[in-house]
Structure 1
């Protein structure tokens, strides 16, 4: 199973974390996991992972680690060419480097072109930026490319985003 994770922050400082469990060729989740946090840390520029990591772990703790092949996050594994960790790297480290992490970012992050691979899905002229740790970058990129959906964002990741933003 693969676990995809996302978080939505509300104006009152609370957050909703959502995870979807699926297999590679699935077009619908096997299971949807939700966690609410009444309070989150403030956003600190350059330290986004500190705010987001806690939220992601609320979902990860609901899943058997033995059942997971990989975790997909909305963001980067590395933030630069020197391989300084982004959110995905910190999640991998927190999980004792046991579960591969695939980062799927929608926007280019300056100074980070050697640790990502651009992929194009559907008819989109705008790429997704894939990064990974614990899994070869080409394998991770192929995985995201193969996910069902005819648009830039794979169907399940788009569905995850929608669920995360629902009340």
Structure 2
């Protein structure tokens, strides 16, 4: 199964982390995992992964690593053309490179054009920026483009984002 993840930050150093388990052809998640994570790290520019990665790892633990074939993160695998890791790369590293990670970002980092493929979906003229590690980025971009949903954001990724904000 594929696991799509997202994290929403609440008050008092608390976050809500959500994961959706699904298959590529699905238009809705077969299972939603939602957890609260306390005592998260403060935001530090350039080190966002220190805040988000522990939350995602807790979702993976609850989902069961053995069930997951690919992980999608709301963010970037790389933060520059030199291959410096963003959230997705740090996750792949934390999992000892055992599971491919796809990053889907709504905005582009400067100097990432060699590592990222812009993907247009639906009628939107604003691309999603897809990066990947542990699999070919062209394949990852095609998978994201082919996900169910007629808008810029695939239905399941929108479902995960919405679930993070629900009480």
TM-score for the superposition, normalised by structure 2: 0.98
Q: Which residue of 1 aligns with 2:163?
A: 163
Q: Distance in 1 between matches of 2:124 and 2:34?
A: 30
Q: Which residue of 1 aligns with 2:139?
A: 139
Q: Distance in 2 between matches of 1:55 and 1:83?
A: 23
Q: Which residue of 2 aligns with 1:63?
A: 63
Residue 127 of structure 1: how far off its partner (Å): 0.4
Q: 4+ runs of 1 displaced by more than 3 Å?
A: none
Deviations 1:37-57 (A, max 9, x none): 122110011100011000101
Deviations 1:23-76 (A, max 9, x none): 001011110101101221100111000110001011000123232220000000
Q: Which residue of 1 aligns with 2:96?
A: 96
Residue 107 of structure 1: how far off its partner (Å): 0.4
Q: Which residue of 2 aligns with 1:118?
A: 118
Q: Secondary structure at the match of 1:62?
A: helix
- Alignment coverage as a number of residue pairs: 167
Matched, 1:17 2:17: yes
Deviations 1:82-120 (A, max 9, x none): 000000000000001000000000001111111000010
Q: Which residue of 2 aligns with 1:127?
A: 127
The unaligned stretches of length 5 or more in structure 2 are none
Q: Distance in 2 between matches of 1:10 and 1:35?
A: 12
The unaligned stretches of length 5 or more in structure 1 are none
Q: Distance in 1 between matches of 2:6 and 2:144?
A: 16
31-40 or 62-71, larger mean C-alpha shift: 62-71
